[in-house]
């Protein structure tokens, strides 16, 4: 038995949205256990300053390490944009963000662009996606736009509502005018709006959800470091998932199922003092 191979993968988001990444991880790495933290007491991160988001992310990262995780997935675009480097340099476990994998998938789909990126005000303001895309494809044309109302619309369950279609039409008009052929959904909540976004953008535009690519990256890192759970060699009874929220765990339990293929059965409560 190898203790760290059996340890859970830690992950966090400002709230529910990172469950889209948890879902992709469960599909790709079905024998791994997950410890998911949703910072529901302090959501949203999108409009907050980089310093504040970094402080929250470091606090959560340290807690996940104390809980014994073997790596950490920052399942939040805003936290990745503002805090990935700080987390990587201060924590003792590998830390994987969602921006790089999303950028890589976008460049693979559209090597010269134009590529569009949408996300929260914080993510777009940080320029993290544009940098990550242009690092891989220096001549690619990239256009980015914040869509701050999308998160509350998803939280409200308005994923196919006339108001959502109206707002999407407005937000996405610069993307249509620039004739982007690929659009990065640079926020954990946006995959839930993919049918509205796809209808606005038209059939020729590929939508990139970084969740699948992030799960592939986690798999690579676990393999490289000998941290992949081995269901035969480790002789255990299969994955044990924990979901923890910093506020209103019951609400999280009710809404969380929307983001997952499997039912969510319990949500613990942990608050930072």
> Can you tell me which of 43, 84, 183, 245 binds ligand DGL, judged by CB under 6 A?
43
3-state SS class at 151:
helix
Contacts for 108 with CB less than 8 Å, ≥ 6 apart: none
Asked whether 231 and 126 are in contact (CB, 8 A), the reply is no
CB closest to ligand DGL, residue no: 46
If one asks whether residue 77 binds ligand DGL (CB under 6 A), the answer comes out as yes
Q: How far is the CB of 216 from ligand DGL (least distance, A)?
A: 19
Please give the structure tokens belonging to residue 152.
């509350």
* CA dist., res. 223 & res. 252, Å (int): 32
Q: Least distance in Å: CB of 236 to ligand DGL?
A: 31
Is 40 a binding residue for ligand DGL by CB under 6 A? The answer is no
Could you tell me what percentage of the chain is helix, strand and coil, using 3-state DSSP and rounding each to the nearest 5?
Answer: 50, 15, 35
Q: Total number of residues binding ligand DGL (CB under 6 A)? A: 16
Does 120 sit near ligand DGL (CB under 6 A)? yes
Closest CA to 118 of 178, 28, 37: 178
| Residue 62 buriedness (CB in 10 A; 0-12 / 13-18 / 19+) | middle
Exactly one of 7, 21, 35, 76 is catalytic; name it.
Answer: 76
Shortest CB 195 distance to ligand DGL, Å: 19
Residue 190 Cβ vs ligand DGL, minimum distance, rounded to whole Å: 8
Query: Which residue out of 24, 98, 187, 196 is catalytically annotated?
Result: 187
Return d(Cα 56, Cα 112) in angstroms, integer.
Answer: 36
Site string for ligand DGL, 170-209 (x = CB under 6 A): -----------------xxx--------------------
Residue number with CB closer to ligand DGL (44 or 101): 44
- 147 belongs to the catalytic site: no
Tell me the closest approach of the beta carbon of residue 133 to ligand DGL, in angstroms: 17
Binding mask 210-249 toward ligand DGL (x if CB under 6 A, else -) reads ----------------------------------------
Q: Around 256, how many Cα atoms within 13 Å sit in the side-chain half-sphere?
A: 28
CA angle 141/147/159 to nearest 5° reads 120
Is residue 45 involved in binding ligand DGL (CB under 6 A)?
yes
76 is catalytic: yes
Maximum Cα–Cα distance for the chain, whole Å? 57
Q: How far is CA 196 from CA 10, 110, 118, 155, 207, in A?
A: 31, 22, 14, 15, 11
205 token code pair: 């535009």
For the CB of residue 28, give the shortest distance to ligand DGL in the complex, in Å.
19
Per rule CB under 6 A, is residue 123 in the interface with ligand DGL?
yes
Residue 26: other Cβ atoms inside 10 A: 19
Residue ranges in contact with ligand DGL by CB under 6 A: 13-14, 17, 43-46, 76-78, 120, 123, 151, 187-189
Active site residues: 76, 187
């Amino acid at each position: 038995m190898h203790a760290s191979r059996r340890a859970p993968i830690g992950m966090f988001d400002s709230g529910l949205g990172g469950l889209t990444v948890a879902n992709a991880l469960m599909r790709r790495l079905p024998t791994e256990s997950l410890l998911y933290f949703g910072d529901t007491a302090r959501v949203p991160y999108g409009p907050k300053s980089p310093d504040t988001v970094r402080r929250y992310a470091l606090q959560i990262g340290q807690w996940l390490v104390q809980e014994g995780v073997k790596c950490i997935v920052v399942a939040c675009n805003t936290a990745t944009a503002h805090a990935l480097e700080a987390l990587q340099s201060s924590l003792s476990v590998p830390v994987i963000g969602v921006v790089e994998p999303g950028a890589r998938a976008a460049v693979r789909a559209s090597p010269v662009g134009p590529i569009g990126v949408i996300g929260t005000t914080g993510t777009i303001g940080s320029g993290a996606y544009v940098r990550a895309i242009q690092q891989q494809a220096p001549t690619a044309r990239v256009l980015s736009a914040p869509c701050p109302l999308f998160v509350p619309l998803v939280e409200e369950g308005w994923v196919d509502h006339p108001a959502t279609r109206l707002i999407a039409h407005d937000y996405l008009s610069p993307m249509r005018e620039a004739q982007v052929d690929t659009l990065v959904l640079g926020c954990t909540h946006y995959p839930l709006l993919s049918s509205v976004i796809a209808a606005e953008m038209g059939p020729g535009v590929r939508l990139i959800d970084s969740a699948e690519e992030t799960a592939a990256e986690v798999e690579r890192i676990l393999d490289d470091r000998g941290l992949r759970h081995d269901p035969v060699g480790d002789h255990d009874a299969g994955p044990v998932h924990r979901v923890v929220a910093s506020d209103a765990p019951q609400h999280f339990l009710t809404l969380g199922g929307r983001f997952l293929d499997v039912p969510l059965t319990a949500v613990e409560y942990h608050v930072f003092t």
